[in-house]
Structure 1
């Protein structure tokens, strides 16, 4: 019975004092330097939107017979999980060119050459078939969905490229429509292949097999296969490098078209 002991003005002043002390309690705790416990979700992100007001109990009840809304689908992780995928940089692609560099030097052991496509994992065999079919179509645009975009775009150069990847491929050809590049693709994909770095993150299937086959170990039959892709003059120049440096194409075990490049 406060009114028996205190007047109304006294009670009002007491309420103001209590409210003021509560208002300064949190800032004082922060100023004291004591760590503030954060939720796990707050530790992952610097800024989070304010949580929505909780729904009233009756609004949260699902009416009988009503199907609950589907959960929001999260973006899938890259199918290949490669740590060295190229990244976008102001419209340019910065490739990790090391994986596309020829690795067969004179005197090195010759890699196992394969011609049987049935030995390929299904995703690799399927991508090989899709690229070959697109190349034989005579329409370079058919390569666009296979090249991809963003972090999963196929490496088409050992250096940065800007703009449309198909325009870049056309610029490499001796004709304006890029038919020469399509013909090279066909020749490369119809050659033998090698399986490299099995069981490692860098595992690849690469065409042509000259990518990993020392030039000084080529027999007469293999030189004919090489001259189906390059000229004798190209071969003489390659001997100066000691390795094949013309177009090569790599596909990962999960069917990602990793690169199609030329040069050293």
Structure 2
């Protein structure tokens, strides 16, 4: 596993801790010293498959993740932020490998993995050029994908980012937003799973991608916000992005 690296520092969440300060002072008319009363902080709340159409998805740029613990679940009629974490108990089934993927999705996944294994970001750039639309690599504009990926990587040649892409695509995946314009196959599945309550085996999977410190920070934040990949049912790569 790759140790804590500069690339992760760009997406690290530094939570603001609210400090409760007790009201001090003694009763003016009494000599008896009263014990200090400290307020108690409220606990932090952490947050079958339908037939796939052969028609290509309309291109879209995924929105930032905005976990909302108060809204009712969407019926699919409204556009949801992508990727977003489901409520506990609503996590989609996890799949592995490519045997259950549509042929076009498996083809794109394999092309990305083959490019990553070469150790050359330029090979990944060629795959991106052949994509139906420019995929989202950042929530800021990206002029040159190859240059951007090298700059985002912890090494000058961009090989760390290739290793991360390979690790993510070898992880479990989920099929989400079925039947909507945002229908997507998402890697790793943690992008749509709550990080609390993972089994020991799932935590080992997560630690292949993140350090324990990163996981703790993301749990405080409310969900996984590291690199994830989204591929539409027609094989279009929609995003390889980190952040929220």
Which range, TM-score by smaller chain?
0.5 to 0.7
How many residue pairs get matched? 175
Aligned pairs for 1:75-94 within 5 A: 80-84=56-60
Unmatched runs of 5 consecutive residues or more in structure 1: 1-78, 85-94
Aligned pairs for 1:1-264 within 5 A: 80-84=56-60, 95-98=61-64, 101-104=82-85, 107-148=88-129, 152-161=133-142, 163-264=143-244
Separation in structure 2 between the aligned mates of residue 203 and residue 150 of structure 1, nearest angstrom: 17
The C-alpha deviation readout for 1:5-58, integer Å capped at 9, x for no partner, is: xxxxxxxxxxxxxxxxxxxxxxxxxxxxxxxxxxxxxxxxxxxxxxxxxxxxxx
Deviation at 1:198, TM superposition (A): 1.4
Separation in structure 1 between the aligned mates of residue 121 and residue 59 of structure 2, nearest angstrom: 29
Separation in structure 1 between the aligned mates of residue 134 and residue 211 of structure 2, nearest angstrom: 30
Find runs of 4+ consecutive structure 1 residues off by over 4 angstroms: none
Structure with higher RCO (Cα < 8 A, 6+ apart)? 2
| TM-score computed with the length of structure 2 as normaliser | 0.67
Cα 1:167–1:83 shift into 2, 3 Å:
closer
Cα 1:205–1:96 shift into 2, 3 Å:
closer
- Give the RMSD, CA atoms, in angstroms: 2.0
Cα 1:100–1:180 shift into 2, 3 Å:
farther
Higher helix share goes to which structure? 1
| TM-score computed with the length of structure 1 as normaliser | 0.62
Unmatched runs of 5 consecutive residues or more in structure 2: 1-54, 65-79
The C-alpha deviation readout for 1:183-204, integer Å capped at 9, x for no partner, is: 0001000000000111221110
3-state DSSP class of the match of 1:119?
A: coil
